[in-house]
């Protein structure tokens, strides 16, 4: 969207902070990262990348939506800006669309306030009330999201119909040690490879009764979706392939329901995929 205003972006995998340093251009004005990332659940080193940005005299902005402020505090790790989709965990009840930006830089905060006031990109008072109400239970909700997601990720990793499971809480995850260091919990989002084709993935999603097949995430109710044809359908097939977003990839947002009921629901999905 920003390209039409003359803003150029260099997209890269930030797993190695040296790659971020090498990608810096004289015109670079901001480093923007998302960790854990959507939908591949990659974890990037906020402190190391903040250092790269600082050495170039520019700010680092971190989209910390998947982690929430309960599990990750990028400003304390050296980022200048943090953004959250309040649509997700902060509100937590799937009845608001909104976002928030936080900064440790007073001058930038003044600019953002002025922009909000003059451009008008602000949520309604009722939406603010809903997000504030959601925030009151954020801590307990996140504890339960993490507890359930951890159990489900471990179960998926043992399941015969499942290939790779992407969840930062699994020891097999390439960013596990980093997640342990910079987060106080691996979150409630899981992606995994279902063995088979689009037909199997479709049968899996159609069979679910508790997980709703829907985009968005971070609410009290569990959601399941297919990134290649839903959340990430607007990317070109080539970009999706380069990111590993294939026909077998499914993403789960683990809600607050009984974890046993969620496992039974997923098993119903796998059985349907097996018949497809
Ligand atoms: C990590 C992350 N950031 C930002 C957004 C955008 O959120 P919104 O739908 O509130 O604009 C999303 C939406 O999926 C997201 O997953």
**Domain end among 101, 135, 169:** 135
Residues 6+ apart with CB under 8 A from 3: 9
pTM of the model: 0.96
CA distance 232 to 226: 9
pLDDT at position 144 is 98
pLDDT band at 177 (very low <50, low <70, confident <90, very high): very high
Beta bridge partners of 252: 190, 224
Query: Is the same domain home to 51 and 124?
Result: yes
- 174-201: average pLDDT: 96
Q: How large is the average pLDDT for residues 148-176?
A: 98
Give the pLDDT score at 185: 98
Q: Name the β-bridge partners of 213.
A: 224
Q: What would the mean pLDDT of 201-206 be, rounded to a whole number?
A: 97
Please tell me the distance between residue 271's alpha carbon and the centre of ligand 1 in angstroms. Answer: 31
Residues 79, 22, single domain; the answer is yes
**C-alpha dihedral (13, 16, 22, 24), degrees to nearest 10:** 60
Q: Which of 88, 91, 97 to mutate to test the pocket of ligand 1 (most atoms within 8 A of CB)?
A: 88
Helices (H), the chain: 17-23, 46-55, 68-71, 106-119, 125-135, 138-158, 176-182, 198-207, 237-243, 259-275
Range 230-255 burial, b when 16+ CB lie within 10 A, else e: ebbeeeeeeebeebebebbbbbbbbb
Question: Which residue owns the Cα nearest ligand 1 atom 12?
Answer: 85
Residues 101 and 228 in one domain: no
What pLDDT, on the 0 to 100 scale, is given for residue 196? 86
Residue 52 and residue 17 in contact, taking contact as beta carbons nearer than 8 Å: yes
Is residue 270 domain-shared with residue 143, that is, in the same domain? yes
Pair 129, 232 in one domain: no
At residue 121 the predicted structure's pLDDT band, cuts being 50, 70 and 90, is confident
DSSP 3: G
Instruction: Specify the pLDDT at position 101.
Output: 96
Q: Are residues 54 and 157 in the same domain?
A: no
Question: Confidence band (pLDDT; 50, 70, 90) for 230?
Answer: very high
Q: Identify the three-state secondary structure at position 103.
A: strand
Regarding whether 186 and 108 lie in a shared domain, the answer is: no
Which atom of ligand 1 has the smallest separation from the CA of 87?
Answer: 10
Enumerate the β-bridge partners of residue 32: 61
Q: Considering 135, 152, 179, which residue would you say is the last residue of a domain? A: 135
Instruction: Check whether residue 165 and residue 95 sit in a common domain.
Output: no
CA distance 107 to 101: 14
For residues 34-55, average pLDDT: 98
Two tokens, residue 241: 């392939």
Q: State in Å: Cα 145 to ligand 1 middle.
A: 18
CATH number at residue 154: 3.90.1150.10
Regarding whether 152 and 105 lie in a shared domain, the answer is: no
72 and 171 share one domain? no
Domain boundary among 135, 160, 184: 135
| Residue 40 pLDDT exceeds 90 | yes
SS3 77: coil
Terminal-to-terminal C-alpha distance of the chain: 39
Question: What total number of domains does the chain contain?
Answer: 2
* Cα–Cα distance measured from residue 21 to residue 14, given in angstroms and rounded to the nearest whole number: 10
Domain range for 97: 2-135
Beta-bridge partners for 223: 212, 253
Instruction: Compute the distance from residue 78 Cα to the ligand 1 centre, in Å.
Output: 22
CB 99 within 8 A of CB 221: no
Residue 91 sits in a domain whose CATH number is: 3.40.640.10
Q: What's the pLDDT tens digit per position in 59-118? A: 999 999 999 999 999 999 999 999 999 999 999 999 999 999 999 999 999 999 999 999
Residue 158 tokens read as 């043992």
Same domain, 116 and 157: no
User: What integer pLDDT is reported at residue 1 of this predicted model?
Assistant: 85
Q: Relative to the CA of 231, which ligand 1 atom is closest?
A: 14
Ligand 1 mean position, distance from CA 193 (Å): 22
pLDDT category of residue 30 using cuts at 50, 70 and 90: very high
Pocket (CB within 6 angstroms of ligand 1): 34, 38, 63, 65-66, 85, 87, 97, 99
Cα–Cα nearest to 31, from 20, 15, 18: 20
Q: Give bridge partners of residue 224 from the DSSP assignment.
A: 213, 252
**Structure-token pair, residue 259:** 């974890």
Q: Whose CA is nearest to atom 11 of ligand 1?
A: 85
Same domain, 142 and 131: no
**How many angstroms is it from 50 CA to the middle of ligand 1?**
22
């Amino acid at each position: 969207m920003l390209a039409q205003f003359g803003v150029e972006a260099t997209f890269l995998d930030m797993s190695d902070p040296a790659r971020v340093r090498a990608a810096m251009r004289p015109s670079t004005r901001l480093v923007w990262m998302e960790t854990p990332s959507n939908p591949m659940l990659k974890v990037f080193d906020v402190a190391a990348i903040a250092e790269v940005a600082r050495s170039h005299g520019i700010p680092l902005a971190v989209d910390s939506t998947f982690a929430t402020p309960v599990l990750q505090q990028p400003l304390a790790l050296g980022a200048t800006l943090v953004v959250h989709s309040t649509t997700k965990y902060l509100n937590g009840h799937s009845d608001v669309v909104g976002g928030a930006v936080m900064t440790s830089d007073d001058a930038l905060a003044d600019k953002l306030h002025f922009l909000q006031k003059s451009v008008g990109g602000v949520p309604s008072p009722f939406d603010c009330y809903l997000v504030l109400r959601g925030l009151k239970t954020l801590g307990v909700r996140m504890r339960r999201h993490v507890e359930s997601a951890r159990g489900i990720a471990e179960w998926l990793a043992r399941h015969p119909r499942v290939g790779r499971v992407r969840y930062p809480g699994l020891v097999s995850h390439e960013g596990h040690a980093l997640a342990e260091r910079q987060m106080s919990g691996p979150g409630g989002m899981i992606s995994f490879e279902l063995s088979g084709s689009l037909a199997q993935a479709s049968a899996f999603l159609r069979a679910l009764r508790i997980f709703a097949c829907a985009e968005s995430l971070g609410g009290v109710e569990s959601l399941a979706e297919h990134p290649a044809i839903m959340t990430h359908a607007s990317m070109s097939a080539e970009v999706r392939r380069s990111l590993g977003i294939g026909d077998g990839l499914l993403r789960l947002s683990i809600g607050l329901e009984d974890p046993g009921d969620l496992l039974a629901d997923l098993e119903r999905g796998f059985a349907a995929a097996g018949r497809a």
